[in-house]
Structure 1
Amino acid sequence: MSPLLFVVAAILYVATVALFTLAVRRLLGVQVSIVRAAVATLVALTVTRPVLDALVTEPVVSTSSVTTEQLLYVALLGAVTFVLAMVIIVVAEVLVPDGSVPGPIDLWRGWRSRLSRSGRYLEILRIAWRHGLSRFLRGRRHLALGTVAERRDLARSLRRALEDGGVTFVKLGQQLSTRHDLLPAEFVAELSHLQDQAAPIPWEEAADLVRTETGRSLDELFAEIEEQPLAAASVAQVHGARLRTGERVVVKVQRPGIEHDVERDLNILVRLASMLDARTDWGRSIGLLDLAHGFSAALTEELDFTVERDNMRGVAAALDRNGTNGIHVPKPVEELSTSRVLVMERLEGVPLTGAEQTLVRLGPETRTELASTLLRTVMDQLLDSGIFHVDLHPGNLLVADDGTLGMLDLGSVGRLGAKTRRSMGQFLASIGTGDSMAASEALLEVVERPEEIDERALEQAIGVLILRYTAGGPTDGTVAFGSLFTLINSFRLGVPPEVAAVFRAMATLDSTLRALDPGYDLVGEAKEMSRSRMARLSDPGRLKETVEQELSSLLPIVRRLPHRIDRLADAAEHGRLTANVRLFADQRDRRIVTNLVHRTLLTVLAATTGLMSVVLYTVNGGPMVTDEASIYTVLATCLFVVSVVLGLRVLIIIFRREEP
């Protein structure tokens, strides 16, 4: 064959494959990948001729004219090709669903990350095996954790495994240590001992990162900078410095390469959570996959220092609006801050974890006042501004010699919408007044309620909690929140992430308040603050303002109300007042019914045409199209092909679960 004829034949063959591919995708009625359809068509074109030759005799090609037998053979050849291609696609969809196997381009691009992830998988499995946790990855129910000692031993093993796992798993353990609604008390107590500490990186690496991020030398940026870090954690380390303007600052420098490690570990964590969610009962019961996605988003945000910069500005603005005195938030130096370097004001004081001498010097009255100021600030953040510090543990609070407090590490903050803030405020106020009915209604507004719930039993349970923890005397806030989480779990109430952040912040705050004042009663003081807040809201001036806001929103409705009432009265007087109920008004209901009707019609048509083809094949006689085939045989063959196509279309729709 000459090169020209070979090129022409290749072009015709490619065009035929493309035409058949488009036709097969159209006949199936769903979006099958173009690669899969092309491969199926190519295979069908290759095997159709031998298959058809085994069933019927190929007519002799006439050089003078095209015969009817030749036209019928070509039509039958095309129909069999379509049927075989569709059969191949349906079988492939059953065995290997479309999209379940990555394409060659994805395989080529991701082979390095997969290799790195595979090594990390093995390392994590070795850590789990070394600490005796491998048996919990198999999906079986374990009954050997019924005693406190057994749960404590398992919690200790889990803590050690998380410490060996690195920064991502340490952060995960720290977040889980505040989730009393998910873990038993033994696990919460053990995981709370996780420390986010690490050896400092060499000064040369930190200095290079600052120069790379800012594009300027250290001499241009600072009058002086301390090479020895003030603190070093797994994500970043902090250096003291002084700007050329004389202002004292701290420079937070992210560890080089930490983004890659965290991204890899988060990917593994989400995959493990997906596997455990699919294979284990306990993974599904606690919504492990959603927790993993939420943790991944929070940690990714924490690695971006511009988020922390914006958080500092937002919290500081809220403190200014509320007129809070005695609590400070460092101001960021925006022109020197990037996503991996954060320069901020240096606050005076020492961390609360080592401020015992300062607190003793301040005296018990000042300590109680500091604790009340901190609690009032957090309550204002939760119920007024909507932006609050999620992880305000003693290490993130500075105590100065003059009795002022400083909030640090605002990389992780929570945010509440107006509706959630109102419901949360109503819940706390109802606790303060002892109204269990209002408290249960407010709680149901902030959680995800199941389809069925015994609201009377919930109200009684909340009433018991109110009597137990607000009857008088100091109350352990951690125990109170633990009881509330137990109640939420017993009624199968879902806790949204933003509400879980509130509970986490309050549980963490309890230990911080006790570090400031060992005898401080979080529950009692929060109850009194809720009462005073309700009293302020009931003040005539505030009440007038609230009424004006409500009336301004209702005014457009009230303005149109007389006209609408007049129209209704006129329609009723003349007998024209009717009520219509539209079936399937929801678009989702219409879509479901339409899909069922379509699939039913396709199934009925496939069965009907199949039966008709069988009947026509049994009919003898009739007009002869060729020497061997009658018109009934031709019609039966056409109906059989239609029946097979319709049946395969129904099957592919079922397997793909897409809209017909």
Structure 2
Amino acid sequence: MKNHLKNTAIRRVMVGTDRSESADQAVRWAAELADRYDAELFVVEVVVPQYPHATEFGQVERTRAALANDNLVQFTRQVAGERGHAMTFIDVDPALAIVRAAAQEAIDVLVVGNLGMAGRKEFLLGNVPNRISHNAHCTVVIVNTFPPADASVPNSVRARLSKVEVPPFEPRLVARVTHIAAVMAKHGLTELFGQSNEPDMSIRRRQAKRLRAALEELGPIFSKLGQVLSTRPDLLPVEYIEELALLQSHVPPMAESEVVQVAERELGVPWEDVFKSIDPKPLAAGTIAQVHRAILESGDRVVVKVQRPNSRDDIEQDLALLEVFAEKVGKRPALNQVIDMEAVFKHLSTSLHRELDFLQEIGNIERMQAVLADYDRLAVPSVYRDLSTSRLIVMEEIQGIPIKQAPAGPERIQAARQLLESYYKQIIVDGFFHADPHPGNLMWWKDRIYFLDFGMVGAVGADLREHLLLMLMALWQEDAEFLTDVTLMMTSAVNSSDLDVARFQSEIGEVMAKYRAASLAEMQIGPLMQEMSAVSLRHGVPLPHSLALATKALAQVQLATAELDPALDPYDVAGKYLTRLMIKRMGVALNPKTLLFQSQKFKLRALRIVEAIEHLVGVRPGGSKLVVNFRANSLEDIVRHTGRRLMLGLIAAASVLSSGLTATSAVVAEWIPITFGVVASLLTLGIIIDLMRGR
């Protein structure tokens, strides 16, 4: 910089100040520079108005600016003498006001300090130097006005220095452990980890309340852990689940400078190069991130989600402690009766690490866009991929209203049906669903329901999806026995010797009857499945955790649809959707290409069965010396004929089922069930003829 200035004619120097102590240091530095080159010094102060100039308070602003100018004139004469010029402006944007003044006065060097400058629209505090350096057309010198480490500085400045300059220290695990132990002792949680075997529900309820209070006192991270656990009834007793669901994270919002710091580090450029403005008041402040409204330079209204700078370190620290805890005390019999510590830790670690990576949330949003593509009343916000990173998400702002305030009309009725049906599709067909559809995450805008916040999603495996399909069909047809069988298949407890199947079926039937006998407004499949999950837990056959999360989400979304359309029958929605789904699947199964492929697969498997039998009896080349006195080819022919008959039988059965389902549908043409019936009859006749020939 010195060499550059020596080779440049410097006749006019300008410096900006807000008359803070640190900014005045920049003025003195600029005065020394001007004195060295015998140049004029222009000292500029920008007064940010508190009231619009057109109001009755406009005169107050002018008076305040005049007083500031008088003080600035005296200060400028002290530091620069006759070569000094004081300039005071009233402007809402200090950075641009200084840039305009520099252009107007043909300034050669513009000096600005890096601490103490007033910010843009109350949010970009400390960022004025960056904006000046990017917009000025002259040489800009940013002077380091941070005081020495041993200097006496005000507490506010020292606090800011600690945020900017001091690197974070390694977490002191010993101190954290001591604090956790003290909180647990305070809330009497030591009995939870002792040897008490009390089965009393009231005791578990008291312990659950104490655990919730302790988690809230331990801070936002532990509250987040409790909230994650509240979605896992397969890991914790129902008393704990109910209490943990009440946890609240009391998180203070991030300082404005922290938000700017994280965003600029992720964007790689000054904040104002991307955003025209940002609302300083956060929409939400969570344990992991904070959300603000903003406007891009293009004019698009967006929402910005910024991750807290220390959230990853805090979570890693507490997870490390939980891992140690799980290893040390997780195997105690008394504790294992209440909590599966190993499963708890694994679930927490996976869930929290997933939430820390915003790229996964972006992937969830884009995947949900594809899932909802067939529904014109449902949507998700679009994401600005080029501005988003693993710690920053920029997405479309949904400028809507809560769904319960949606205006009455056909659009609202259609949206309610589509919302409920989409969850059947998400869970049963796609195996991917929004796991937290509470009213705050559903907004009404442009005659659509928008899903918000994809930090929590659920996944359902292929086998479980098939079981769920059968479960919904059993509910639709009110078949308690079949529903019991499907539930036991889900839990892999079909052959469990210590299960009272008759009692289990009786309780499942009671739950089904309770909800099917309810009024239309109370017909809720989600709560019904939650009660079924509770019955399964009582009998020691808990449903898979992904199903527990799915039923909770289904219960939430059904409450939302009940508000949109109280007359909507969830069983009718489920039944009609299942009918269409089965017809579609049968259409795929009866496709000639599919039939040919399946027949070849069946032929190959039949040949493998033959080969396996030949190996078993020792007739394969190189096999044992056992002599078998029968022809393998005859066995192969028998298997081939049996396979053909079985395939024809399956197609005939599918045709019969298709005929019955389409006959009950009001949206299917009359010729379709007739066609299916004719096909079934012809296939059945063919099987009979084949059997008669084989005699």
State the TM-score, normalized to the length of structure 2. Answer: 0.58
Spell out, residue by residue over 1:368-390, the C-alpha distance to the aligned partner (whole angstroms, 9 max, x if none).
65443322121111112221111
Compute the displacement of 1:448 (Å).
4.4
Specify the code of the residue in structure 2 equivalent to 1:438. Answer: F
Contact 1:178 1:507 in 2 (8 A): no
CA offsets, 1:568-592, max 9 Å, x none? 99989953669xxxxxxxxxxxxxx
Partner of 1:466: 512
Question: Against the structure 1 CA distance between its residues 328 and 558, is the aligned structure 2 distance closer, same or farther, given a 3 Å change threshold?
Answer: closer
Alignment of 1:88-107 (within 5 A): none
Q: How does 1:41-190 map to 2 (within 5 A)?
A: 116-142=172-198, 145-147=200-202, 152-181=205-234, 183=236, 186-190=239-243
* Aligned counterpart, 1:489: 537
Deviates more, 1:172-181 or 1:569-578: 569-578
Give the equivalent residue in structure 1 for 2:623: none
Give the 5 Å matches for 1:168-247: 168-181=221-234, 183=236, 186-247=239-300
What is the deviation of 1:529?
2.6
Q: Does 1:397 align with 2:445?
A: no
Q: Which has the higher contact order (CA 8 A, sep 6+)?
A: 1
Between the aligned partners of 2:308 and 2:609, the Cα distance in structure 1 is 68
CA deviation string 1:346-365 (max 9, x = no partner) = 11213x4xx65x24xx2498
* Residues in 1 aligned to 2:184 and 2:322: alpha-carbon distance in whole angstroms: 13
SS at match of 2:513: helix
Letter in 2 for 1:283: N
Q: Is the 8 A contact 1:209 1:253 kept in 2?
A: yes
Check the 8 A contact 1:278/1:284 in 2, yes or no. Answer: no
Partner of 2:28: none
Superimposed CA distance per residue, residues 94-125 of structure 1 (whole angstroms, 9 cap, x where no aligned partner): xxxxxxxxxxxxxxxxxx96x72222111112
**Secondary structure, counterpart of 1:432 in structure 2:** helix
1:407 positional shift:
1.0
Shift of 1:506: 2.5
Q: How does 1:307-322 map to 2 (within 5 A)?
A: 307-320=360-373
Q: How does 1:390-539 map to 2 (within 5 A)?
A: 390-400=435-445, 402-449=446-493, 452-453=496-497, 454=499, 456-457=501-502, 458-473=504-519, 474-475=522-523, 480-513=528-561, 516=564, 525=570, 527-539=571-583
Q: Which residue of 1 aligns with 2:421?
A: 376
Structure 2: which 5+ runs fail to align? 1-168, 620-626, 634-695
Contact between 1:387 and 1:415, CA under 8 Å: does it hold in 2? yes
User: In 2, distance between residues paired with 1:252 and 1:404?
Assistant: 23
Equivalent-residue separation in structure 2 for 1:520 and 1:271 (angstroms)? 53
Asked whether 1:386 is paired with 2:421, we answer: no
Equivalent residue for 1:547?
590
Q: Which amino acid aligns with 1:338?
A: T
Q: CA deviation at 1:165?
A: 1.9
Once residues 364 and 180 of structure 1 are traced to their aligned partners in structure 2, the CA distance between those partners, rounded to angstroms, is: 39
Indicate how the Cα distance of structure 1 residues 455 and 558 shifts in structure 2: closer, same or farther if over 3 A, else same.
Answer: farther
Q: CA deviation at 1:509?
A: 3.3
Q: 2:345: which partner in 1?
A: 292
Q: How many angstroms does 1:235 deviate by?
A: 1.1
Quickly say closer, same or farther: Cα 1:364–1:481, change in 2 above 3 A: farther
Shift of 1:271: 2.9
User: CA separation in 1, counterparts of 2:602 and 2:434?
Assistant: 42
Q: Distance between the aligned counterparts of 2:608 and 2:238, measured in 1?
A: 59
Task: Check the 8 A contact 1:446/1:499 in 2, yes or no.
Answer: no
Moved more, 210-219 or 189-198: 189-198
Deviations 1:225-264 (A, max 9, x none): 2232222112111111122222211110011111010011
Q: Distance in 2 between matches of 1:564 and 1:234?
A: 57
Partner of 1:585: none
Contact conserved, 1:174 with 1:191, CA < 8 A, in 2?
yes
- 2:339 counterpart of 1:306: no
- Between the aligned partners of 1:249 and 1:234, the Cα distance in structure 2 is 21
Residue equivalent to 1:342:
393
Whether the 8 Å contact between 1:223 and 1:243 is mirrored in structure 2 is yes
- Give the superposition deviation at 1:499: 2.7
SS in 1 for 2:330: helix
Q: Match of 1:470, as an amino acid?
A: R
Q: Which residue of 1 aligns with 2:670?
A: none
| Contact residue 421 and residue 577 of structure 2 kept, 8 A | no
Cα distance, 1:372–1:193 mapped onto 2, change above 3 Å: farther
Matched residue type, 1:220:
D
- 1:265 equivalent to 2:308? Answer no
2:428–2:468 contact (8 Å) kept in structure 1: yes
- Structure-1 separation of matches of 2:609 and 2:541: 42
Q: Deviations over 1:166-201 (max 9, x none)?
A: 233212222333444555555444333323342111
Offset at 1:558? 4.5
Amino acid at match of 1:302: E
Tell me the CA shift for residue 157 of structure 1. Answer: 2.7
Give the Cα–Cα distance (whole angstroms) in 1 for the partners of residues 347 and 608 of structure 2: 48
Match of 2:630 among 564, 575, 584: 575
Is the Cα–Cα contact under 8 Å of residues 533 and 548 in structure 2 kept in the other structure?
no
User: Residue in 2 aligned with 1:556?
Assistant: 600
Distance 1:545 1:205, change over 3 A: same
Structure 1 stretch displaced more, 482-491 or 186-195: 186-195
Query: Judging changes above 3 Å, is the alpha-carbon distance between structure 1 residues 276 and 364 closer, same or farther for their aligned structure 2 residues?
Result: farther
Separation of aligned partners in 2, 1:507 and 1:274: 36
Q: Pick the structure with more strand per residue.
A: 2
Match among 366, 369, 375 for residue 324 of structure 1: 375
Deviates more, 1:452-461 or 1:118-127: 452-461
The 3 A distance-change label for structure 1 pair 174 and 509 is farther
How far apart, CA to CA, are the structure 1 residues paired with 2:606 and 2:190? 71
Deviation at 1:513, TM superposition (A): 4.3
Conserved in 2, the CA contact under 8 Å of 1:249 and 1:346? Answer: yes
Task: Specify the SS of the correspondent of 2:347.
Answer: helix
Please say if residues 438 and 557 of structure 2, whose CA atoms lie closer than 8 Å, have aligned partners that are also in contact.
yes
Distance 2:460 2:491 in 1: 13
Pair 343,459 (structure 1): closer, same or farther in 2 beyond 3 Å: same
| Structure 1 letter corresponding to 2:315 | V
